[in-house]
């Protein structure tokens, strides 16, 4: 049973879709609404609906769904499917790092990221970060992308070196 994985490419959130068994369990066994599944997996209802279709999970009837309170859509960026071989690599990355943040070691809200922010899904380009370290990385990356700083990840440290103040600046 594989839950969806959340990861980030080019600053946009993307998802590795769950498998049919996981979706079936959430929707039919646990009786969650698509809105609830979307909230819990931090994606949009539209994305969950497309998972339902691709996994061939039957929908509840209109009458059953009428009881479900309509939640608001959430989700950042443009969640999109990726191919299965990449999905396998994301799971490998999580397995390799033991579902823990590579920076602070927390297991809270860990997600898979592309180190160089490209779509390269090679395992050595994947990293696992918790929700807080992700924010830190995103802030640092914004500066790197603007050419204002360099981010150096060491063993247990992260250094943000600002170009304007750096001694190697030309
Ligand atoms: Zn962390």
What's the gap in Å between 100 CA and the centre of ligand 1? 8
- Clarify whether residues 62 and 89 are in a common domain: no
3 state SS of 151: strand
Among the ranges given (1-10, 65-74, 89-98, 156-165), the one the predictor scored with the smallest mean pLDDT: 65-74
- Clarify whether residues 20 and 88 are in a common domain: no
Q: Residue 112's pLDDT is what?
A: 84
Residue 117 lies inside a defined structural domain of this protein: yes
Length of the chain: 170
What's the gap in Å between 170 CA and the centre of ligand 1? 33
The pLDDT of 96-125, averaged and rounded, is 83
Nearest to 53 by CA among 1, 13, 83, 18: 18
pTM strictly above 0.85: no
- Domain range enclosing 44: 5-66
Residue 39 lies inside a defined structural domain of this protein: yes
Nearest to 22 by CA among 39, 3, 8: 3
- The larger pLDDT score, comparing residue 70 to residue 66, is at 66
What's the gap in Å between 101 CA and the centre of ligand 1? 5
What's the gap in Å between 109 CA and the centre of ligand 1? 9
- Clarify whether residues 89 and 128 are in a common domain: yes
78 pLDDT higher than 70: no
Residue 20 lies inside a defined structural domain of this protein: yes
- Clarify whether residues 57 and 125 are in a common domain: no
What's the gap in Å between 107 CA and the centre of ligand 1? 8
Find out whether 5 and 112 touch, Cβ atoms under 8 Å: yes
Find out whether 99 and 127 touch, Cβ atoms under 8 Å: no
Residue 75 lies inside a defined structural domain of this protein: no
What's the gap in Å between 157 CA and the centre of ligand 1? 12
Residue 150 lies inside a defined structural domain of this protein: yes
Domain total of the chain: 2
Residue 23 lies inside a defined structural domain of this protein: yes
């Amino acid at each position: 049973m594989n839950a969806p994985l959340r990861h980030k490419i080019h600053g946009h959130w993307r998802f590795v879709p769950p498998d049919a068994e996981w979706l079936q369990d959430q929707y039919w066994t646990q009786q969650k609404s698509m809105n609830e599944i979307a909230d819990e997996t931090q994606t949009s209802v539209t994305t969950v609906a497309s998972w339902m279709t691709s996994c061939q999970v039957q929908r509840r009837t209109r009458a059953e769904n009428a009881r479900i309170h309509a939640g608001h859509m959430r989700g950042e960026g443009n969640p999109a499917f990726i191919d299965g071989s990449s999905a396998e690599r994301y799971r490998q990355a999580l397995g390799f790092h033991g579902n823990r943040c590579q920076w602070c070691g927390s297991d809270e809200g860990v997600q898979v990221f592309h180190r160089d922010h490209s779509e390269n899904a090679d395992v050595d380009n994947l990293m696992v970060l918790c929700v807080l370290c992700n924010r830190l990385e995103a802030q640092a990356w914004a500066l790197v992308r603007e050419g204002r700083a360099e981010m150096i990840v060491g063993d247990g440290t992260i250094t943000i070196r600002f170009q304007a103040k750096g001694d190697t600046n030309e």
